[in-house]
Structure 1
Amino acid sequence: MSDPTMIENLPVFAFEAVFQHHPLGMWVVELNSLEIVQANQAAVKAYGYAPEEWTALTLMDLCIIEENQLREAFSRHASFAGGKEYVFVRKDQSALIVDLSWQVFQEGKVLLTAREVVREGSQLLSPLERMTELSRMIRAEHGLEAIQTLTQEVQQRMGEALQAAQVGIWEWDQISGQVLWDEQTAFLMGMALEEFDGRIESFNLRVHPDDLEGVGQAILQAREQQNPFEKSFRVKAPEGQHRWVMSRGRFDYTPEGVAYRMTGVILDISARIQAETALRESEKRLRELMDAQKRFIADAAHELRTPLTAIQGNLDIFLRYPNIPEDEKMDILTEVQREASRLGRLVNDMLQLARGDAGAALREEEVQLDQVMTEMWKDISRVVPFHHLILTEVEPVQVVGDHDRLKQLVLILLENALKYTPEGGTVTGSLKRKGHHVELRIADTGYGISEEDLPRVFERFYRADRSRQRGEDPGGTGLGLPIAKWIVEGHKGKIWLESELGAGTVAVVQLPLEESRFS
């Protein structure tokens, strides 16, 4: 901040321009009578007196201090750059605290500049009745007692307001390096007030290591640019976690522009950060759901169009050419039946996923998972004569879950393994306890999945290279694994595939053994 007391050295026309447009309240005062000769625009705006009213006032009409004390201050310091606070009164008798600087110049005149310390509307000051009484006491030569009383009230109310707002205050001496905290600041920094030794290093130890450099850079930038300081960062809480705080402050400078003190406040913003984080996550999740919905609609339209087109095309041929040979008619009807079956499976799978997206609840019942797996293995073995189906180890395991959905899960994984395994290949299954989980594994000796395709196998309608599918119509809809994932996650479990191109695939499911709680 530039030194306002230096403008008296300007030429008259320049002085008037700088004086009137200076952002701080300024007055020219007669040194002997303390009569106000002139006030600038900032003073007119801040103190409520019209421009023509100022010449009828003295400085004592504004400043709550004994006249002889003010004269003595002027006589001791012909030039004073600020650092001492005075109580000033506006026209409406409201009060504020200012940091007053002055310069004696121009044949016994004084140029004064007031920087407001406590903002208008603050609850830290006395009410009108108390300020009026203090003014009366001062003018009755009880000024010292009144100022002390006012100072005590201001300090008390400031402390009460800051405590109610859970705001801590601090001060950092730039010369000695000592830091002063109040009790609230110590609490927010995660320590007791008596534990703080006043060293800036103690502050640094409380700041999260990842944020410390940013805090230092913000302080340095504020000091070099003479701007207010503001920074959010994390501090270590006593319980071992971290809380988010925001600190704001400003530097005080000598007339030479050297920072000698920094004062500020600190407040807890953990709740705000948590809310902002939750909002960002919610927005991200919403965008993902919207993107997934768009993809689902586009993919569903394509998948539904394919069998419908085949059905419509074959029926058109059947009706347009009634005299075609019987064997060709039979081929057409067989194709229509196959596409209709495919369409039915697709619609059923889509409805099931839609119910899952809508939050359809899963049943909770005791399920003997080993029996479910054994039964499904026997049922599939009867209708798949060209593969080797082997159960290696199936431990007796009981879980809490939805019996029908778990049965569907085993069927999806088993059919998926058979679909991508050529005739003569082997599909192996196992069920074992592992800690607090049960692990179900179904491995095949099929074509495997490329590294590029593996991360996307649980996406809806996504299929790996169709050339690796066994047969002309493997019966898949591209929704089997997404349904399996929904079932597993509904049971608070995990599912993933382990695969290598040309070396087969292993589907792994882990389900908790403790009681499930469905969302």
Structure 2
Amino acid sequence: MKKKLSRKDTIFRGFVLFIVIFAIIIGCGALAGLFTRIILFTTGHDPADEPIYGQSLTWLILIALLLLVRYYLKYGNITKHIDSFNTVIHVLDKIAKGDYKARLKEPFNEHKSFGELVKSVNNMAADLEQLENMRQEFISNVSHEIQSPLASIRGFAQVLQSNDPLSPEEKKLYLSIIESESARLSKLSDSLLQLAVLESESMRLQPRPYRLDKQLRDLILASEPLWRSKKVVMEAFLDEVTCTLDEDRISQVWINLLHNSIKFTPEGGKIRVELHQHGEAIEVQVADTGIGISEQDQQRIFERFHKADQSRERSNQGSGLGLSIAKKIVDLHGGDIRVRNTPGAGTTFTVTLPN
């Protein structure tokens, strides 16, 4: 069913149509006059000596041109072209208003240029829809991650404020939970801020030469209380490598990978860190004998808030942002980060960086 035009639209379209017809008549008249002069000149006639002959010839050519224009307008699919552009504009207007599911369905098989236009518009709409879905999922995940610790803090604070008698041990436990959940909120806030900084256009790396093997060794020693408390065997095979990278940003990559491996490696397991240089490329591997990651989860392991095992205990859960931050930093350095593992037999993260 066609949409009824308003009086204002009808007047506007009529005015545009008048201008188009007027321009066509003027253009055809000018061409007719030009063709008449060419014909008279080539046949040796002077328009001033034979004005009636010249005017008659001009009118005949003008009529012929107008008939050609009419024929093209009728059989040249001009109307279809206009309708096609109207459809494209209508869909673009819907996309601009937030309807990212809008698509162009007309095939335009006989017109390659229109076909390319339709394909581009549909691809743009699909990308915008995906971004919108990611935005909604991101907001949902942030809300969930924030609400969980807030609910714990509020609940235990209410218990502490109640008149029910509590033993010193219970009070200490509840206060420790409140402190732990507060720290969790603080870490989430820091991670979100770090991601925002990394993704901002104003973000600038500050590369400088330094010893990468020394940096890795220091970070392994700094995390010793974590892996030693779980009786994890830590092995390091580090070649002497001098790199030119943003030392502070890259250190966050190693911290995230190390803590991730320690967190999901069972007591008595093993973590192996290797550093090698292959020509102009630097390769760092962090391998563990932890629980591993399923093939399905490997496809999304670097997405924000994605957690490979939703059944893990809350004490083992992070915000799901550590690997996203690591990947973003590696990408900014022009490198690559990959994951390879066998579920139940451990995981290996491989980071390749240019030097």
Maintained 8 Å contact 1:93/1:128 = no
Aligned residue for 2:345? 503
The one-letter amino acid paired with 1:486 is: K
Candidates 112, 130, 149, aligned match of 2:38: 130
Q: What's the offset of the Cα at 1:466? A: 4.2
User: Shift in Å at residue 321 of structure 1?
Assistant: 2.8
Q: Which amino acid aligns with 1:361?
A: R
> Is 1:387 matched with 2:295?
no
What is the DSSP-based 3-state SS (H/G/I as helix, E as strand, rest coil) of the residue aligned with 1:505? strand
Q: How does 1:47-446 map to 2 (within 5 A)?
A: 94-95=31-32, 126=34, 129-134=37-42, 137=45, 232=112, 285-321=127-163, 323-359=165-201, 360-385=203-228, 386-391=231-236, 393-446=237-290
Q: Is 1:443–1:507's contact at 8 Å kept on the other side of the alignment?
A: yes
Rounded to whole Å, the distance in 1 between the matches of 2:263 and 2:320 is 12
Q: Deviations over 1:301-339 (max 9, x none)?
A: 010000000000100111113532221111110110111
Letter aligned with residue 425 of structure 1: G
Give the secondary structure class of the aligned counterpart of 2:141: helix
Give, as a single letter, the amino acid of the residue that structure 1 aligns with 2:154.
Q
CA distance in 1, matches of 2:30, 2:218: 91
SS in 1 for 2:45: helix
1:450 aligns with 2:291: no
Cα shift at 1:465: 1.7
Between 1 and 2, higher relative CO (CA 8 Å, sep ≥ 6) is seen in 2
- 2:324 is aligned, of 482, 488, 500, to 482
1:466-486 CA-to-partner distances (Å, cap 9, x unmatched) read: 4456xx512511111101111
What is the CA-CA distance between 1:397 and the residue it aligns to?
A: 2.0
Distance 1:293 1:361 in 2: 25
Q: Structure 2 CA distance, aligned partners of 1:309 and 1:331?
A: 16
Q: Quote the Cα distance in structure 2 between the aligned partners of 1:485 and 1:284.
A: 25
What amino acid sits opposite 2:271 in the alignment? V
Q: Alignment partner of 1:452: what SS? A: helix
Q: Which is richer in strand?
A: 1
CA distance in 2, matches of 1:326, 1:346: 30
Alignment TM-score, normalising by the size of structure 1? 0.47
Following TM superposition, by how much is the alpha carbon of 1:134 offset from its aligned partner in structure 2, in angstroms? 4.6
Instruction: Give the whole-Å Cα distance in 1 for the aligned partners of 2:199 and 2:349.
Output: 23
Deviations 1:393-433 (A, max 9, x none): 31222332211111111010000011111010000000111
1 CA distance for matches of 2:354 and 2:119?
29
Contact kept, 8 Å, 2:226 with 2:262, in 1: the verdict is no
The offset of 1:349, in angstroms, is: 0.6
Query: Over the residues paired in the alignment, what is the CA RMSD in angstroms?
Result: 3.4
Return the letter of the residue paired with 1:414: L
- Aligned-partner Cα distance in 2 for 1:384–1:94: 88
Residue 130 of structure 1 aligns with an amino acid whose one-letter code is I
Give distance in 1, aligned partners of 2:186 and 2:309.
24
Give the C-alpha shift of residue 437 in structure 1.
1.3
Secondary structure at the counterpart of residue 453 of structure 1: helix
By how many angstroms is 1:370 displaced? 1.4
What is the identity, as a one-letter code, of the residue corresponding to 2:264? Answer: Y
Shift in alpha-carbon separation, 1:277–1:368, aligned structure 2, 3 A? farther
- By how many angstroms is 1:354 displaced? 1.6
> Normalising by structure 2, what TM-score?
0.67
Is 1:463 aligned to 2:307, yes or no?
A: yes
Alignment check: 8 A CA contact 2:213 2:241 kept: yes
Post-superposition Cα deviations, 1:365-406, rounded to whole Å, max 9, x if no partner, equal 223221111111111124431211100x31222332211111
Residue number in structure 1 paired with 2:103: none
Deviation of 1:230 (Å): 5.8
CA change 1:488–1:284 in 2 (3 A) is farther
Distance 1:424 1:294 in 2: 41
Give the Å deviation of 1:129.
Answer: 4.0
